[in-house]
Amino acid sequence: MQTASGKSILERIAIGPLCVYKKAEVHISRTSALTSAQEWDRFEAARQTVRGQLERLYEKALDEAGGETAAIFEIHQMMLDDEDYLEAVRDIVKTGGTTAEYAVMEAGENFAAAFAAMDDAYMQARAVDVKDISGQVADALCGRRDSGLPEEQPVILVADDLTPSETVRMDKSKLLGFITRRGSFNSHTAILARTMNIPALVGVDFDDSWNGRTAVLDGCSGCVYVNPGPEFLSAMEERRDDECRRDALLQTLKGKPDVTLDGREVQVYANIGSAADVESVLRNDAQGIGLFRSEFLYLDAQDYPSEDRQFAVYKHVAEAMAGKKVIIRTLDIGADKQADYFGLDEEENPALGYRAIRICLTRREVFKTQLRAILRAGAFGTVSIMFPMIISLQEVRDAREILEECRTELREQGKATGVPEVGIMIETPAAVAIADELAGEVDFFSLGTNDLTQYTLAIDRQNAKLDAFYDPHHPAVLRMIRHTIEAGHRHGCWVGICGELGADLTLTETFLRMGVDELSVSPAAVLPLRKTIRGLDLKKD
């Protein structure tokens, strides 16, 4: 039996034949007998073809993985329309005598190299995305079609790397799992795998001779076992079957209260990125929505979304949740989430830069448009407002003042509004340090543990080179969470967690003993969390 290790993307087990997937080597001719204008026309036609393909991939991802994940393909569409990218292709074509496919691949390689050379790990990961869209345009120009999985039987796919488009195109019924030599935990392909519930390992140094051999992909240990012996294989099959039985058992928890054995009730909510995710929230029986990432309304648009456009989306979500709480986080754009029409400058340290509430307080009309839409939607359900990236009392007071200004304007216009709870994200050490003062200004806190961890540890959570140093269980992080919960309760605030630690079942008991009131997780994590909560007895030492 051969063993190799990598970085696990999903803690699940896959067993089956390995299929080493190699992309066909295609020679792209550089020289063209056509004029540069004709080659540009060819490029534009291919670009429109790919746009249609991306729209179909978006719909497929939306169906299989939800709106937030499907947004990857909207980002690809934006890349396809990026003026700098188009100009680079145009310049190469204009040199004369070059084919459109050569120009596309050359421009793609140049952009990918530029992304890869950046210090920011998120931007480095975008190198794969620009190569993906360039390859799709080149395929359209050459008349090539993606054939999907090369095998008819279900397989564990092994590849040097997989692009997001390749991952979504594959028939899930034939994909047991995948293993790649390259890729990172935070790549778009990895995000797709987690959301689509596909066991995966990245960073595995595989051998082409594995093709056709039986293997066990163990996402719990981060190992792949090739040609396992009968006893080992039998034991791993039993573990996999246990997983399946556990999944079926979880479905029986629907409709059950989130109460510990000793009677402690906890609110279990879900995080969403778009209105399309509400179906998943309801299917997984969450008690409410603890984080609606409203920035995707902006990232999906070519210009600032209007008040009526936002109102329609928020109203739809509020009505669909039928009285259950919906917490809308106000615009959290900047850092790794960019929209060209905002005209944001490049920054040395974007995670520490002009983003979130800092943009809203300095671009009041943009902020007011969103607040008015949220207030109006509040008349159709239980809607709350949450401000991100707060570091001072003055920010909260300024934001609330603008909120009241919007409420007054709507009242004067005769428009109905809700009376929302107002909360803030606690995701900076500064907010934790003044949590007692902040609690006097708001109704609730929601701990954004992803950013809180990276700012506390001074570690870029998207930099794969730092994975060994990134410890979300660090005592400093846990002490900050405890301090925030205690400070909130001293002043009558309820306190929730909406970051990834909320779904970490090894910390559920710890958080409940700290007194957390609410945990908001991805829709798929709701039932496993409910099972854990219902099995705890907090009165036991």
Give the contacts of 83 (CB within 8 A, at least 6 positions apart).
none
**What is the mean pLDDT of the segment spanning 128-147?**
82
Least confident interval from 114-128, 346-360, 411-425: 114-128
- C-alpha–C-alpha distance, residues 152 and 156, integer Å: 12
Q: In the structure, what pLDDT confidence band is assigned to residue 186 with cuts at 50, 70 and 90?
A: low
**pLDDT at 146 exceeding the cut of 60:** no
**What is the mean pLDDT of the segment spanning 32-46?**
89
Q: In the structure, what pLDDT confidence band is assigned to residue 149 with cuts at 50, 70 and 90?
A: low
Of 86, 89, 59, 88, the closest CA to residue 74 belongs to: 59
Please, are residues 437 and 461 in contact by the beta-carbon 8 Å criterion?
no
**What is the mean pLDDT of the segment spanning 526-530?**
92
pLDDT, tens only, 167-179: 777 777 888 999 9
In terms of DSSP H, where are the helices of 159-268? 164-169, 188-195, 230-250
pLDDT, tens only, 216-225: 999 989 999 9
**pLDDT at 474 exceeding the cut of 70:** yes
- C-alpha–C-alpha distance, residues 183 and 168, integer Å: 16
Structure tokens at 63: 């169906």
Please, are residues 185 and 10 in contact by the beta-carbon 8 Å criterion?
no
Q: At what angle do helices 36-65 and 188-195 cross, to 10 degrees?
A: 30
Residue 335: the pLDDT is: 60
Residue 337: the pLDDT is: 63
Residue 300: the pLDDT is: 73
Least confident interval from 240-249, 330-339, 530-539: 330-339
Residue 68: the pLDDT is: 62
Residue 339: the pLDDT is: 66
pLDDT, tens only, 477-507: 999 999 999 999 999 999 999 988 999 999 9
Residue 514: the pLDDT is: 97
Is 316 an active-site residue? no
Of 208, 205, 219, 207, the closest CA to residue 176 belongs to: 219
State the amino acid at position 266 in one-letter form: V
**pLDDT at 367 exceeding the cut of 90:** yes
Q: How many residues does the chain have?
A: 541
User: CA–CA distance from 467 to each of 321, 422, 461, 462 (Å)?
Assistant: 37, 35, 8, 9
**What is the mean pLDDT of the segment spanning 38-57?**
90
Other Cβ atoms within 10 Å of 327 Cβ, number? 25
DSSP string, 60-85: HHHHHH-HHHHHHHHHHHHHHT-HHH
Least confident interval from 143-147, 253-257, 424-428: 143-147
Residue 143: the pLDDT is: 79
- Could you say which of 188, 360, 406, 493 is catalytic? 188
Is 19 an active-site residue? no
- C-alpha–C-alpha distance, residues 393 and 395, integer Å: 5
- Could you say which of 19, 360, 406, 498 is catalytic? 498
Q: Produce one character per residue of 228-237: b if its CB has 16 or more CB atoms within 10 Å, e if not.
A: beeeebeebe
pLDDT, tens only, 92-102: 988 767 899 99
- C-alpha–C-alpha distance, residues 283 and 391, integer Å: 36
Tokens 């970490």, located at residue? 504
Average pLDDT, the chain: 88
pLDDT, tens only, 264-284: 999 999 999 888 788 888 888
